[in-house]
Amino acid sequence: MTHPAPSAGPHGTGPRRTGLADTIAAVATAPGHAGVGIVRVSGPDALRIADEVFGGRRRPSRTPGGRFLFGPLRAEDGELLDEGLCLVFRAPHSYTGEDVAEFQTHGSPAVLGQVLGRILALGARTARPGEFTLRAYLGGRLDLAQAEAVLGLVNAGTETARRQSALGLSGALGERVAGIAAGLTRTLAAIQALLDYPEEGVPDEDRAAPLAEAERDLRGLLGTARAGQVSTRGARLALVGRPNAGKSSLLNALLGYERSIVTPIPGTTRDYLEAGVELAGVPVTLVDTAGLRETDDVVEAAGVRQAAHLAAHADLVLVLEDGSAPREALPAELPEEGRVIRVQTKADLPPRWTDPAALRVSAVTGAGLPELREAIGQALLGDAARGEAWLTTERQADAARRALAHVGAAQTLPDDLAGFEIEEALHALAELTGQDVQEGVVDAVFRNFCVGK
Ligand SMILES: Nc1nc2c(ncn2[C@@H]2O[C@H](COP(=O)(O)OP(=O)(O)O)[C@@H](O)[C@H]2O)c(=O)[nH]1
Ligand SMILES: [Mg+2]
């Protein structure tokens, strides 16, 4: 599959760096055997190299961009390596913005290895992870958030992750950020225009109102960060409670198969175990833990300590209490309210207590499971609306948080200092989209890519 070059974002002018004279090459498809495999070459020599590899009558370097040729691919001594396609892209109309040739061959490691080896022998060098996309960013074809969205699409394991990454790639996040930045820039201009006349002061409609609006927009944007991150990297959900509360039974019910051992004997689960499942479009790792209780058993005590630790580090914690037995306090501290869902288990039996804050669920009959799934989805995704662009990486969320802090500070300060805070907020927003960003940050983003993308 080829990747049509996406249109540049609204302000898609990434910093240009020199030193892109190299021609780079890599296998772009996954290792292993497949019907088709792709080797990609990008850079100033891409089409000259393609002329040597492609043995058909027509030469790639004389072929207009956006066309493909079919013919033999040859080794240096003329031996036939395979028959395949050579796709020709010409700068700037390619994924990287450079001249690009893509060879589509039969998808075996042997064929792909020979074709890539020939290309490298002709003067290309092996591409580093994400280097094709890095070039698209450096050439201004993608902003940094769009590059992260490319990675999100490559890694997407669920429909939610795919949808949000596709939105990010379309530049929707960059546009949302640009809208906030535009408002801040106008406010900054209004403040600077009146700095020489401090006795006048900037009228509220030019300062207080737009700053409040920027704050609201940034809060809305940050409200999507948790959803964006859990939908792409996944979430950890720990089940905790006293022994026999029904943790292992509920884990099995959520999974739909018997993963964890269930017995009437308290203290059955002494180690923890994990299992993956998709809930509300989020890849969730369910973690079953040892029951929380005071115990003299060394192994069980270690499991209880571990359970508390797992709960502290989970994205979300289901706190289970046996609804068919008298309620007892849990012998452990629980995470803060926002990260907890309370569950009253064994809803098929007569309840011995009621608590409107707890969801009643039966692992035996399945009653309450749909509501529990719904509550988990709500807790993980919040009110982040499906159609809007979300912050999908911690890097993006961090930049948005800093922008919000500066906007908050600007609202409380006199004009000259407020102007400084607004500049800092704009700086953070420019980092979010990668217009104004340290090289180390860019490197960190692209380190997570695979070779060939
Ligand atoms: N009636 C009923 N029994 C349950 C339910 N969930 C668990 N149990 C029983 O409660 C006991 C403890 O269950 P288990 O899942 O091992 O609890 P854990 O110690 O918290 O992991 C077992 O005998 C289960 O069969 C339920 O929803 N309804
Ligand atoms: Mg158990």
Domain boundary among 346, 381, 416: 381
Q: 153: CA distance to ligand 1 center in Å? A: 40
Is 105 in contact with 84 (CB distance < 8 Å)?
A: yes
The verdict on residue 9 lying in a domain is no
- Note whether residue 350 is domain-resident: yes
Strands (E), 17-174: 24-27, 34-42, 67-74, 80-89, 100-107, 125-126
pLDDT tens for the chain, residues 1 to 453: 333 333 333 333 334 443 468 999 999 999 999 999 999 999 999 999 999 999 999 999 999 999 999 999 999 999 999 999 999 999 999 999 999 999 999 999 999 999 999 999 999 999 999 999 999 998 899 999 999 999 989 888 888 889 999 999 999 999 999 999 999 999 999 999 887 777 777 888 889 999 999 999 999 999 999 999 898 889 999 999 998 999 999 999 999 998 888 888 887 777 789 999 999 889 999 999 888 887 788 887 887 788 888 888 999 999 999 999 999 888 777 887 789 999 999 999 999 999 999 999 999 999 999 999 999 999 999 878 778 899 999 999 999 999 999 999 999 998 889 999 999 999 999 999 988 888 888 888 888 888 888
DSSP structure string for 175-233:
HHHHHHHHHHHHHHHHHHHHTT-TTT---GGGTHHHHHHHHHHHHHHHTTHHHHHHHHH
Q: Quick one: which atom of ligand 1 is closest to the CA of 245?
A: 20
Ligand nearest the Cα atom of residue 246: 1
- CA of 208 relative to ligand 1 center, distance in Å: 57
* Structural domain count, the chain: 3
Tell me 31's DSSP state: S
Q: Identify the burial level of 115 via C-beta atoms within 10 angstroms of its C-beta, where 0-12 means exposed, 13-18 middle and 19 or more buried.
A: buried
80-90: pLDDT as tens digits: 999 999 999 99
* Atom of ligand 1 lying closest to residue 249 CA: 15
Q: What is the pLDDT of residue 216?
A: 97
C-alpha torsion sign, points 168, 172, 174, 177 = negative
Choose among 241, 262, 371: nearest CA to 317. Answer: 241
* Protein residue with its CA nearest to atom 13 in ligand 1: 246
Q: Which long-range contacts (CB under 8 A, 24 or more apart) does 203-209 make?
A: 207/415, 207/418, 208/411
Between the CA of 399 and the centroid of ligand 1 the distance, in Å, is: 45
CA 326 to ligand 1 centroid distance, Å: 15
317 with 238, same domain: the answer is yes
Assigned token pair, 403 = 């922008």
Shared domain for 249 and 318, answered yes or no, is yes
* Paired tokens of 343: 């569950």
129 lies in some domain? yes
Sign for the pseudo-dihedral over CA of 204, 209, 212, 214 = negative
Q: Residue 67's domain is classified under what CATH number?
A: 3.30.1360.120
Site to probe by mutation for ligand 1, drawn from 239, 249, 364 as the one with most ligand atoms within 8 Å of Cβ, is: 249
Q: Is 403 annotated as a binding residue?
A: no
User: Based on the domain organization, do 376 and 235 belong to the same domain?
Assistant: yes
Specify whether 80 is located in the same domain as 185. Answer: no
Does 428 reside within a domain?
A: yes
Ligand that lies nearest to the alpha carbon of residue 367, given by its number in the listed order: 1
Is 47 in the same domain as 179? Answer: no
Q: Are residues 200 and 246 in the same domain?
A: no
- Domain match, 255 and 368 both: yes
For the CA of 345, the nearest ligand = 1
| Ligand 1 atom index nearest CA of 251 | 15
Same domain flag for 335 and 397 = no
The pocket around ligand 1, CB under 6 angstroms, is made up of 241, 243-249, 262-264, 268-269, 291, 345-346, 348-349, 362-364
For residue 92, whether the previous peptide bond is cis, meaning omega lies within 30 degrees of 0, is yes
141 appears as a binding residue in the annotation: yes
Look-up of token digits 């290792």 = 31
Write the pLDDT tens digit of every residue in 95-124.
Answer: 999 999 999 999 999 999 999 999 999 999
Candidate from 262, 320, 322, 362 with most ligand 1 atoms within 8 A of CB, to mutate? 262
Residues 6+ apart with CB under 8 A from 435: 11, 13, 14, 15, 143
pLDDT of residue 80: 97
The whole-angstrom separation of Cα 418 and Cα 425 is: 10
Does 266 lie in the same domain as 171? no
Is residue 160 marked as binding? no
DSSP state string for 352-396: S---TTSEE--TTT-TTHHHHHHHHHHHHHTT--TTS----SHHH
- Tokens 């700086």, located at residue: 427
**Residue 208 lies inside a defined structural domain of this protein:** yes
Nearest-CA residue for ligand 1 atom 19 is 244
* Claim to verify: residue 235 and residue 365 sit in the same structural domain: yes
Q: How far is the CA of 320 from the centre of ligand 2 (A)?
A: 11
Residue at 417 is within a domain: yes
Cα 179 from Cα 181, distance rounded (Å): 5
Check whether residue 235 and residue 200 sit in a common domain: no
Domain assignment present for 50: yes
- Residue 1 confidence (pLDDT): 35
For tokens 């192994």, what's the residue? 299
Cα 255 to ligand 2 centre (Å): 15
Q: Which atom of ligand 1 is nearest to the CA of 243?
A: 19
Phi, psi at residue 343, to the nearest 5°?
-125, 130
Instruction: Give the structural domain span for 420.
Output: 159-224+388-433
Smallest CA separation from ligand 1 atom 3, residue: 346
Residue 42 lies in a domain: yes
Rounded distance from Cα 361 to ligand 1 centre (Å): 11
Q: Which protein residue's CA is at the shortest distance from atom 14 of ligand 1?
A: 246
Residues 138 and 243 in one domain: no
Among protein residues, the one with the nearest Cα to ligand 1's atom 28 is 346
CATH number for the domain that contains residue 304: 3.40.50.300
Taking the centre of ligand 1 as the mean of its atom positions, its distance from the CA of residue 186, in whole angstroms, is 61
* Atom 22 of ligand 1, nearest CA residue: 264
**Segment (H or E) for 278:** strand 273-279
